[in-house]
Amino acid sequence: MTTVFYIFFGLITLFSLAIVFTKNILYAAFSLVIVFFSLAGIYVMTGAPFVAVTQILVYIGGIIVFIVFGIMLTNKLNNQNVMSEAHNRLFGYGVGLLLLIGYVMTIAQIDFDFLSTNGMDAPAHDVRAIGVLLMTDYLIPFEIAGVLLLIALIGATVIAGHKPKEIV
């Protein structure tokens, strides 16, 4: 079980680096799909299948589709390939190195014995129990989150459709 965890961890690390260092945006999007699948695998191993399925449906099913369609629709503007430009590389490498050090220190302190136990029987991981909690105890925060997402969607639509007036 620990070997599978390290395989997923290695895939996440490898393809995250591919996202950072590739200049082709389409390759970065496909690398992000592999990172999300590997992360969903780790969620399943830790006894959180609901979070894993949500990860796959929301991120891979939704966001990656939008990224790929956006890339496909804008791939050749004026017969030029869309490539990302690197700005502030030194600052990015510094922040990345600090985050890597923090992650390694955190991972070194984790006791990975919880991977050998099966946490699937816990009621907190049951999809039905999560649904009941969302519709009873956490109904107000759930509805507030929905309204905030709707407001953000309306705001994004207004900003995207707004064309400034020309001063004549």
Average pLDDT of the residues in 111-135: 67
Q: Give the pLDDT confidence of 77-100 residue by residue, as tens digits.
A: 555 555 666 677 788 788 889 998
Q: What is the pLDDT of residue 76?
A: 56
In contact, 71 and 82? CB cutoff 8 Å: yes
Question: Residue 40: is its pLDDT beyond 80?
Answer: yes
Q: What is the pLDDT of residue 120?
A: 47
Residue found by looking up tokens 């997402």 in the block: 149
Q: What is the pLDDT of residue 116?
A: 59
pTM of the model: 0.57
Q: What is the pLDDT of residue 134?
A: 82
Question: Residue 9: is its pLDDT beyond 70?
Answer: yes
pLDDT band at 74 (very low <50, low <70, confident <90, very high): low
Question: Residue 73: is its pLDDT beyond 70?
Answer: no
CA count, 13 A, side-chain hemisphere, 86 = 11
pLDDT band at 15 (very low <50, low <70, confident <90, very high): very high
Q: What is the pLDDT of residue 147?
A: 92
Give the integer Cα–Cα distance in Å for 45 and 118: 8
In contact, 77 and 25? CB cutoff 8 Å: no
Planar angle of CA 14, 15, 16, nearest 5 degrees: 95
**Which is higher by pLDDT, 11 or 75?**
11
Q: What is the pLDDT of residue 152?
A: 84
